[in-house]
Amino acid sequence: MANILYGVNGEGSGHSTRAQEVISHLIARGHSVHVASFDRGLRNLRENFEVTEIYGLRLAYVNNQVRYGRTLTRNLLSVRQRAKSIALLTERVEEWKIQLVVTDFEPLTCHVGRHLRLPVVSIDNQHCLTNTDVSYPKKYRRDAAVAKLVTRIMTPRADAYLVTSFFEARVKRPRTFLFPPILRQRVLEAAPTTSEHVLVYVTSPAPALARLLGSVRCPFVAYGFGREGQSGNVLYRKPGMDQFLEDLIGAKAVIANAGFSLMTEALHLAKPYLAIPIEHQFEQIFNAYWLDKMGYGTYWEDLNKERVESFLYNLPDYRERLSAYPRRGNAALLDKLCSLVAEYTSTRAARARRRRK
């Protein structure tokens, strides 16, 4: 059995959601897993695992837009914190006798692993953009170029890339393997129903969207608006994983930002999806574009009443396309990861034995 350092990006909840499933599987297989994360990843994972807090690279948002200049400045000013985290991780790798690093888009654990010549396995959806042959609208070329650069910087030169995607793509990079999205066990086991409400989720309060929802003849259950209670046709709820999942399972559709985790959970549950990608956040633009291309929903950078009503009118068409959506679970990726752990740790142990001779 292997001693594994598992780095989890703490920006948003998607990374920690899938990491929870992978880490639990590795521990169930008898491996010793030491987790490192920050922000939401730290908060979400430390309830079930021992987590070392590290400094995390963060994107800067202003008015629902990614500001790359501010992001660069903020992270350039944090060199000292990153250096402390790298020193801490290096010390812990020696203490824990780490044999392999797994990273979910977390750069510091990847850096330490490469520096100490440990095998590194990357698990994320972001490398679909760099390691597979995919298309996107030409008008987003600048945002795509920045996203590709960031993706390559975050986890460079991993020994293997396990990439998740909700659509098929041709792999173009060596040691890259494509898999379906990693989903929570509760989502995999859920029996979806179709109630009257549409689930709405935003990452930050959106008063203009709240006013728009109030003008549409449809019941909405809304999260992320910083308020609670019934207001006309909109029921606002405070954050809560159990209630949110219940509302998702019963929704007739979803209106939300284009984060990978929520979108892929909704698609698995056959929920048509109206995506509102965060401006200049190319990962979300990319997800929304392929959502529309596959016919599972649509996206708009700016919503109005007519666009919401058009989406609701076309729900039967989206449901028909979603009826053929592949629902394969997590087994293929988890099995591949375990085989890589066995391959890389046994190879490294053999090399160490040869050096001792």
Cβ neighbours of residue 211 closer than 8 Å, sequence gap 6 or more: none
Regions of the chain short of the pLDDT cut 50: 60-67, 76-77, 353-354, 356-357
- Strands, sheet with 51-53, edge to edge from the N-terminal-most edge strand: 51-53, 32-37, 3-8, 100-104, 120-124, 160-164, 176-179
Distance between CA atoms of residues 126 and 242, nearest Å: 27
3-state DSSP assignment of residue 161:
strand
For domain 186-322, give the CATH superfamily. Answer: Glycogen Phosphorylase B; (3.40.50.2000)
First to last CA, the chain: 23
**CATH no., domain 3-182+330-356:** 3.40.50.2000
Distance between CA atoms of residues 300 and 42, nearest Å: 32
- Residue in this structure with the two tokens 């797994």, named with its chain if needed: 102
CB 1 within 8 A of CB 7: no
Token pair, residue 212, equals 């728009």
Per-residue pLDDT, 354: 45
Per-residue pLDDT, 74: 53
Per-residue pLDDT, 150: 86
Range(s) within the chain of domains with CATH label 3.40.50.2000: 3-182+330-356, 186-322
Per-residue pLDDT, 69: 52
3-state DSSP assignment of residue 275:
strand
Per-residue pLDDT, 356: 43
> Beta partners for 61?
66
pLDDT in tens, 54-71: 998 655 444 444 445 555
Cα 111 to chain centroid, rounded: 21
Q: From the CA atom positions of the chain, what is the Rg in Å?
A: 21
Of 144, 214, 137, 162, nearest in space to 25 by CA: 162
pTM (2 decimals)? Answer: 0.91
